[in-house]
Protein backbone atom coordinates (compact mmCIF):
# COMPACT_ATOMS: atom_id res chain seq x y z
CA UNK A 1 0.00 0.00 0.00
CA UNK A 2 1.19 3.48 -0.83
CA UNK A 3 -0.84 6.14 0.94
CA UNK A 4 -0.38 9.82 0.29
CA UNK A 5 -1.85 12.71 2.22
CA UNK A 6 -1.99 16.27 0.98
CA UNK A 7 -2.94 18.34 4.02
CA UNK A 8 -4.21 21.92 3.96
CA UNK A 9 -4.99 24.71 6.39
CA UNK A 10 -2.38 23.57 8.91
CA UNK A 11 -0.84 25.67 11.62
CA UNK A 12 2.20 27.57 10.33
CA UNK A 13 3.88 27.20 13.72
CA UNK A 14 3.36 23.42 13.84
CA UNK A 15 4.34 22.90 10.21
CA UNK A 16 7.58 24.80 10.79
CA UNK A 17 8.48 22.84 13.92
CA UNK A 18 11.46 20.61 13.12
CA UNK A 19 11.27 18.90 16.53
CA UNK A 20 7.58 18.09 16.04
CA UNK A 21 8.29 16.45 12.68
CA UNK A 22 11.18 14.47 14.21
CA UNK A 23 9.07 13.28 17.16
CA UNK A 24 6.16 12.44 14.84
CA UNK A 25 8.38 10.34 12.58
CA UNK A 26 9.88 8.67 15.65
CA UNK A 27 6.54 7.52 17.08
CA UNK A 28 4.30 7.31 13.98
CA UNK A 29 5.56 3.95 12.68
CA UNK A 30 4.61 2.14 15.91
CA UNK A 31 1.25 3.96 16.01
CA UNK A 32 0.33 2.54 12.59
CA UNK A 33 1.73 -0.95 13.24
CA UNK A 34 5.09 -0.57 11.47
CA UNK A 35 8.65 -1.27 12.58
CA UNK A 36 11.11 1.64 12.63
CA UNK A 37 14.60 0.38 11.73
CA UNK A 38 16.52 3.69 11.73
CA UNK A 39 16.11 7.02 13.46
CA UNK A 40 14.24 9.73 11.56
CA UNK A 41 16.23 12.11 9.39
CA UNK A 42 14.79 15.62 9.47
CA UNK A 43 16.03 18.92 8.03
CA UNK A 44 14.71 22.47 7.91
CA UNK A 45 14.81 24.13 4.51
CA UNK A 46 14.96 27.91 4.10
CA UNK A 47 13.56 27.95 0.57
CA UNK A 48 16.84 29.14 -1.03
CA UNK A 49 15.79 30.86 -4.26
CA UNK A 50 12.07 30.25 -3.55
CA UNK A 51 11.58 31.52 0.03
CA UNK A 52 7.88 30.64 -0.04
CA UNK A 53 8.87 26.95 -0.18
CA UNK A 54 10.54 26.97 3.24
CA UNK A 55 9.63 24.15 5.58
CA UNK A 56 10.67 20.88 7.14
CA UNK A 57 11.38 17.60 5.38
CA UNK A 58 11.91 14.28 7.05
CA UNK A 59 11.77 10.56 6.52
CA UNK A 60 12.07 7.39 8.47
CA UNK A 61 12.98 3.97 7.16
CA UNK A 62 10.69 1.22 8.34
CA UNK A 63 11.07 -2.53 7.89
CA UNK A 64 8.04 -2.36 5.62
CA UNK A 65 9.52 0.51 3.48
CA UNK A 66 9.46 4.24 4.40
CA UNK A 67 7.50 7.28 5.57
CA UNK A 68 8.23 10.84 4.42
CA UNK A 69 6.88 14.27 5.36
CA UNK A 70 7.32 17.61 3.56
CA UNK A 71 5.86 20.75 5.14
CA UNK A 72 5.20 24.15 3.60
CA UNK A 73 4.35 26.33 6.63
CA UNK A 74 3.79 29.58 4.73
CA UNK A 75 1.18 27.85 2.61
CA UNK A 76 -0.33 25.73 5.41
CA UNK A 77 0.49 22.51 3.49
CA UNK A 78 1.94 19.17 4.42
CA UNK A 79 2.57 16.23 2.12
CA UNK A 80 3.06 12.77 3.55
CA UNK A 81 3.82 9.38 2.01
CA UNK A 82 3.54 6.03 3.75
CA UNK A 83 4.81 3.21 1.58
CA UNK A 84 4.42 -0.22 3.10
CA UNK A 85 4.41 -3.83 1.99
CA UNK A 86 2.10 -4.46 4.96
CA UNK A 87 -1.56 -3.48 5.22
CA UNK A 88 -2.40 -0.78 7.75
CA UNK A 89 -5.33 1.32 8.93
CA UNK A 90 -5.08 4.24 6.52
CA UNK A 91 -7.90 6.18 8.20
CA UNK A 92 -6.21 5.94 11.60
CA UNK A 93 -2.87 6.87 10.04
CA UNK A 94 -4.48 9.93 8.47
CA UNK A 95 -6.07 11.05 11.74
CA UNK A 96 -2.67 11.20 13.43
CA UNK A 97 -1.39 13.62 10.76
CA UNK A 98 -4.51 15.78 10.81
CA UNK A 99 -4.18 16.15 14.59
CA UNK A 100 -0.41 16.75 14.55
CA UNK A 101 -0.65 19.78 12.25
CA UNK A 102 -4.24 20.95 12.98
CA UNK A 103 -5.21 20.42 9.35
CA UNK A 104 -8.57 21.71 8.13
CA UNK A 105 -8.72 19.64 4.93
CA UNK A 106 -6.93 16.70 3.35
CA UNK A 107 -6.78 14.68 0.20
CA UNK A 108 -5.86 11.07 0.85
CA UNK A 109 -4.91 8.69 -1.92
CA UNK A 110 -4.30 4.97 -1.71
CA UNK A 111 -2.39 3.06 -4.32
CA UNK A 112 -2.00 -0.68 -4.06
CA UNK A 113 1.49 -1.70 -5.12
CA UNK A 114 3.10 -5.02 -6.00
CA UNK A 115 -0.16 -6.62 -7.06
CA UNK A 116 1.51 -8.80 -9.67
CA UNK A 117 3.98 -10.25 -7.20
CA UNK A 118 2.69 -12.92 -4.79
CA UNK A 119 3.52 -12.39 -1.13
CA UNK A 120 3.82 -16.09 -0.30
CA UNK A 121 7.38 -17.41 -0.70
CA UNK A 122 6.24 -20.62 -2.39
CA UNK A 123 4.33 -18.58 -4.99
CA UNK A 124 7.03 -15.94 -5.46
CA UNK A 125 9.97 -18.33 -5.93
CA UNK A 126 9.03 -19.54 -9.45
CA UNK A 127 8.51 -15.93 -10.60
CA UNK A 128 11.87 -14.81 -9.20
CA UNK A 129 13.62 -17.81 -10.78
CA UNK A 130 11.99 -17.10 -14.16
CA UNK A 131 13.09 -13.44 -13.95
CA UNK A 132 16.68 -14.45 -13.13
CA UNK A 133 16.74 -16.97 -15.96
CA UNK A 134 15.38 -14.40 -18.39
CA UNK A 135 17.99 -11.80 -17.38
CA UNK A 136 20.75 -14.38 -17.72
CA UNK A 137 19.46 -15.35 -21.17
CA UNK A 138 19.46 -11.69 -22.25
CA UNK A 139 23.02 -11.19 -20.99
CA UNK A 140 24.21 -14.27 -22.86
CA UNK A 141 22.54 -13.00 -26.07
CA UNK A 142 24.19 -9.59 -25.71
CA UNK A 143 27.56 -11.18 -24.98
CA UNK A 144 27.22 -13.55 -27.96
CA UNK A 145 26.44 -10.60 -30.23
CA UNK A 146 29.63 -8.73 -29.24
146's CB contacts (< 8 A; 6+ apart) are: none
Burial (CB count within 10 angstroms: exposed 0-12, middle 13-18, buried 19+), residue 15? buried
List 70, 84, 119, 146, catalytic entry: 70
Q: By the 8 A CB rule, do 112 and 88 touch?
A: no
Is 65 considered catalytic here?
yes
Whether 146 is a known active-site residue: answer no
> Distance (Å, rounded) from C-alpha 81 to C-alpha 123?
29
Q: Is the dihedral of CA 4, 31, 66, 89 positive or negative?
A: negative
Angle between helix 18-31 and 90-101 (nearest 10): 160
| Of 2, 65, 66, 68, catalytic | 65
Q: Among residues 2, 11, 84, 85, which one is catalytic?
A: 85
85 has catalytic annotation:
yes
Catalytic residues: 65, 70, 85
Amino acid sequence: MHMTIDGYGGSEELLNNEQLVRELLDRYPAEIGMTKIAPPYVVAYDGADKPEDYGVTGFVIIAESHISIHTFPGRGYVWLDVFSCKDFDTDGATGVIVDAFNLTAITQRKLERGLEFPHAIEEATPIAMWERTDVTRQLVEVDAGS
